[in-house]
């Protein structure tokens, strides 16, 4: 590979590191081309899965300010650059690795931090963004309902007290009512 080609590859990888919300480092030794195609489909449109050269990737990561993969680039490596929700990509990788043991997830990079294999598993076990947002909305709605009930409670208690006093006055008869006037 000529130097100008290497520089172009490094620039492209550095740009992918800068624009991605997360990156997942994998070893794909033993996977066929058809299986890699299947993995790319499983990742969807929010991730780009690229087979990379280790040295060029380390240079690109340094240029992009990502030091999480230093010393971890060995063997046949591929990186999934995630542009959408990292949880969805982590779930897709986990599910694919369950059926294809040749795929080894070495770790990942998200929000400036390196995630080891255990961290990637924890990320994959999280619920998706939409589910978490709906749970948050439900919790907030519940708290708003409680607040509305608390604000209405003194008013309804006052109405019940006035109604009880009115009923008591009626019970005592009409004699108490003219005396009050």
How many other C-beta atoms are found inside a 10 Å radius of the C-beta of residue 176?
12
How much is the pLDDT for 29?
A: 86
Tokens 């948050």 -> residue = 136
- pTM comes to 0.64
CA distance 148 to 121: 41
How much is the pLDDT for 178?
A: 52
Residue range 31-55, pLDDT digits in tens: 889 988 988 888 888 888 888 888 8
The full length of the chain comes to: 181
Q: What is the third-level CATH fold of 3-126? A: Alpha-Beta Plaits (3.30.70)
Residue range 102-161, pLDDT digits in tens: 888 888 888 877 877 777 777 777 777 777 788 888 877 777 777 777 777 777 777 888
Residue-averaged pLDDT of the chain: 82
For every residue of 26-51, DSSP letters joined together read: EE-TT--HHHHHHHHHHH-TTEEEEE
Residue range 66-93, pLDDT digits in tens: 877 777 788 888 888 988 888 888 888 8
Question: Looking at the predicted structure, is the pLDDT value of residue 179 above 60?
Answer: no
> With contact defined as beta carbons under 8 Å apart, do 5 and 52 qualify?
no
At 4 the three-state DSSP class reads helix
Question: Looking at the predicted structure, is the pLDDT value of residue 1 above 70?
Answer: no
């Amino acid at each position: 590979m000529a130097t100008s080609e290497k520089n172009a590859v490094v620039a492209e990888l550095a740009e992918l590191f800068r624009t991605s919300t997360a990156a997942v480092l994998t070893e794909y030794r033993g996977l066929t081309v058809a299986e890699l195609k299947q993995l790319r489909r499983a990742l969807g449109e929010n991730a780009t899965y690229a087979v990379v050269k280790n040295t060029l990737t380390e240079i690109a990561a340094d240029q992009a300010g990502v030091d999480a993969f230093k010393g971890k680039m060995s063997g046949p490596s591929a990186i999934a650059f995630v542009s959408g929700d990292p949880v969805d990509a982590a779930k897709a990788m986990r599910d694919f690795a369950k059926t294809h043991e040749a795929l080894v997830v070495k770790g990942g990079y998200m929000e400036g931090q390196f995630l080891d294999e255990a961290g990637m598993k924890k990320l994959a076990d999280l619920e998706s963004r939409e589910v978490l947002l709906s749970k948050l909305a439900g919790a907030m709605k519940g708290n708003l309902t409680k607040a509305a009930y608390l604000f209405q409670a003194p008013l309804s208690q006052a109405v019940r007290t006035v109604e009880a006093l009115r009923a008591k006055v009626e019970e005592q008869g009409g004699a108490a009512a003219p005396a009050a006037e």
